[in-house]
C-alpha cells in the first residue's frame, strides 16, 4: 500500500475531528502512527516506516477489544423495541448513493438486516452500511455529509418480528 501526503493529511484531519487520541496503521510493510496534540514533546505524528517481512494484523489492546461495538445494533435509549444502528467505522456519512439521488432510507422505510441504509466514505472508498436489524426507520440521527465516529448511532429502527 502506498500513501501519499494527501492521504496522510486526510487521515490526520479525520483523527483530529474524532474522539480518538492515536491511530496506528500497519499494512503491506508500511507502518503509520498518528497521535493528537504532539505539542513541544515532539511531532504530531511519526513518519511512515517500512517494516521487514510480510504484513501482520494488529491486535487491539484488551481494553479496546472489550469496548468494541457489538456485531448487532445496540438497543436504544429511545424506548423498548427501538434499536440504534451504529456507524461501523469513522468517516463521512452519506444518505444517498450519489448527490441528487433519493436517500437509501427515510423515516417510515421498512428495512431488513441486509438493507443498505447509507454510505460512509473513508479515504475516497465508499463503504455500504447495512441495517443489521429488521423493522421500520423511526429516526435518522446522522446528518448527510457529516463526519461520524465508530459506534455513533446513525438511525433508529423500531424492530419487528
Write a three-state SS string for the chain: CCCCHHHHHHHHHHHHCCCCCEEEEEECCEEEEEECCCHHHCCCECCCEECCCCCCCCCCCHHHHHHCCCCCCEECCCCCCEEEEECCCCEEEECCCCCCCCCCCCCCCEECCCCEEEEEEECCEEEEEECCCCEEEEEECCCCCCEECCCCEEEEEEECC
**Looking at residues 153-160, what average pLDDT do you find?**
94
pLDDT computed for residue 148 by the predictor: 93
How many folded domains does the chain comprise? 2
Which of 52-56, 77-81, 136-140 has the largest mean confidence? Answer: 136-140
| Cα 125 to Cα 141: distance, rounded to the nearest angstrom | 22
> What's the chain's length in residues?
161
pLDDT computed for residue 76 by the predictor: 54
pLDDT computed for residue 77 by the predictor: 63
pLDDT computed for residue 42 by the predictor: 40
Q: How sure is the predictor about 16, in pLDDT bands with cuts at 50, 70 and 90? A: confident
- The last residue of a domain, from among 21, 47, 67: 67
- The last residue of a domain, from among 67, 95, 117: 67
**Looking at residues 22-42, what average pLDDT do you find?**
66
pLDDT computed for residue 53 by the predictor: 55
58 and 78 part of one domain: no
Q: How sure is the predictor about 110, in pLDDT bands with cuts at 50, 70 and 90? A: very high
91 and 146 part of one domain: yes
63 and 113 part of one domain: no
Which domain does 140 fall in, by range? 74-159
The rounded mean pLDDT for the chain is 77
| Cα 82 to Cα 74: distance, rounded to the nearest angstrom | 9
Question: In this predicted model, which residue has the larger pLDDT, 42 or 117?
Answer: 117
pTM of the entire structure? Answer: 0.55
Is the C-alpha dihedral spanning 132, 112, 118, 77 positive or negative?
negative
Amino acid at each position: 500500500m502506498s500513501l501519499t501526503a494527501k492521504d496522510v493529511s486526510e487521515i490526520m484531519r479525520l483523527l483530529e475531528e474524532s474522539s480518538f487520541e492515536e491511530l496506528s496503521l500497519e499494512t503491506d510493510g508500511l507502518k503509520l502512527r498518528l497521535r493528537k496534540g504532539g505539542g513541544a514533546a515532539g511531532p504530531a505524528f511519526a513518519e511512515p516506516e517500512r517494516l521487514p517481512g510480510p504484513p501482520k494484523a494488529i491486535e487491539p489492546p484488551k481494553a479496546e477489544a472489550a469496548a468494541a461495538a457489538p456485531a448487532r445494533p445496540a438497543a436504544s435509549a429511545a424506548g423498548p423495541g427501538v434499536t440504534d444502528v451504529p456507524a461501523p467505522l469513522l468517516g463521512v456519512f452519506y444518505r444517498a448513493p450519489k448527490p441528487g439521488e433519493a436517500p437509501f432510507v427515510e423515516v417510515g422505510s421498512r428495512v431488513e438486516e441486509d438493507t443498505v441504509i447509507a454510505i460512509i466514505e473513508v479515504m475516497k472508498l465508499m463503504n455500504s452500511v447495512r441495517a443489521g436489524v429488521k423493522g421500520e426507520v423511526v429516526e435518522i440521527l446522522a446528518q448527510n455529509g457529516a463526519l461520524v465516529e465508530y459506534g455513533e448511532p446513525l438511525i433508529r429502527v423500531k424492530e419487528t418480528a
